[in-house]
């Protein structure tokens, strides 16, 4: 799983490890990955850190291949790594658009393509892409991010159709407003405005998202594919 070093990804890694999975966690920063690993191992779980920039397609594809070869199988892929480079349309640079598409969308394509072969060989696979309600509703200032996250929806549904007959499911979890480093940088007034629009009257936690990933990748989620699971306290309905 990617983006395992902080926030939602760390919670997903911890939850999957608690459920007995051997987790290989990817991120750029080894020190933060080590913290995730220490927390998982202290709780008796299994975790391997793999430092990699998911925006480097060749490195990511090679990593997925190495991991599946080393372990002889690959059951679950969670594409969670993501970044924002917000800006209004008129001021958004080509570079900020391309970077967000590469890190948030293309990386998932590269990882899914690399994971498909070992999953097909094992006739089993669970793919979860982490999208966003921004990709469903749009969000002013996030043309690049919303495009990437909306792209993940079409990609996930296409993969679900292509690989369903091989025992592989593909779903997308779309978080709403979750308290992590990504939202900590937002101005206080943005948060104050967002809260009343959430029927459950609280921001989400990384564990809220981890629970849905655990369900989709566990036994109880086995007949669910091609779906968008919105976990946003009702914000986007």
Q: Enumerate binding residues for ligand NAP (CB under 6 A).
A: 2-9, 26-29, 32, 53-55, 80-83, 103, 130, 132, 175, 177-178, 180-183
Identify which of residues 47 and 177 has a Cβ nearer to ligand NAP in the complex: 177
Q: Measured from the CB of residue 162, what is the shortest distance to ligand NAP in angstroms?
A: 23
Which pair of tokens denotes residue 183? Answer: 């939202």
- Cβ proximity to ligand NAP, 6 vs 21, nearer residue: 6
- The answer to whether the CB of 172 falls within 8 A of the CB of 179 is no
114 versus 178: smaller Cβ distance to ligand NAP: 178
Active site residue 145: yes
- Smallest distance from the beta carbon of 221 to ligand NAP, in angstroms? 19
Catalytic residue among 14, 16, 24, 145: 145
The distance of closest approach from Cβ of residue 227 to ligand NAP in the complex, given in angstroms and rounded to an integer, is 16
List Cβ<8 Å contacts ≥24 apart for 116-121.
Answer: 116/159, 116/163, 116/168, 117/68, 118/68, 118/73, 118/74, 119/74, 119/75, 119/77, 119/163, 119/166, 119/167, 119/168, 120/163, 120/166, 120/168
Rounded to whole angstroms, the Cα distance separating 90 from 112 reads: 33
Residues classed as catalytic:
145
């Amino acid at each position: 799983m990617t983006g395992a070093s902080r926030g939602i990804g760390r919670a997903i890694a911890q939850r999957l490890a608690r459920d007995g999975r051997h987790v290989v966690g990817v991120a750029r920063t080894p020190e933060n990955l080590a913290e995730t690993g220490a927390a998982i191992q202290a709780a008796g779980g299994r975790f391997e850190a793999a430092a990699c920039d998911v925006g480097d397609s060749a490195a990511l594809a090679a990593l997925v291949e190495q991991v599946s070869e080393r372990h002889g199988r690959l059951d679950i892929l969670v594409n969670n790594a993501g970044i924002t480079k917000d800006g209004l349309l008129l001021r958004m640079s080509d570079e900020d658009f391309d970077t967000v598409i590469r890190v948030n969308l293309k990386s998932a394509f590269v990882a899914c393509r690399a994971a498909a072969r070992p999953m097909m060989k094992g006739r089993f696979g669970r793919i979860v892409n982490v999208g966003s309600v921004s990709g469903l509703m749009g969000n002013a200032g996030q043309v690049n991010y919303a495009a990437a996250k909306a792209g993940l929806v079409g990609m996930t549904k296409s993969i679900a159709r292509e690989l369903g007959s091989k025992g592989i499911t593909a779903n997308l979890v779309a978080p709403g407003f979750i308290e992590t480093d990504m939202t900590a940088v937002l101005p206080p007034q943005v948060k104050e405005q967002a809260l009343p629009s959430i029927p459950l009257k609280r921001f989400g936690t990384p564990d809220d998202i981890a629970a849905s990933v655990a369900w989709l990748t566990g036994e109880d989620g086995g007949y669910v594919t091609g779906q968008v699971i919105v976990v946003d306290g009702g914000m986007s309905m």
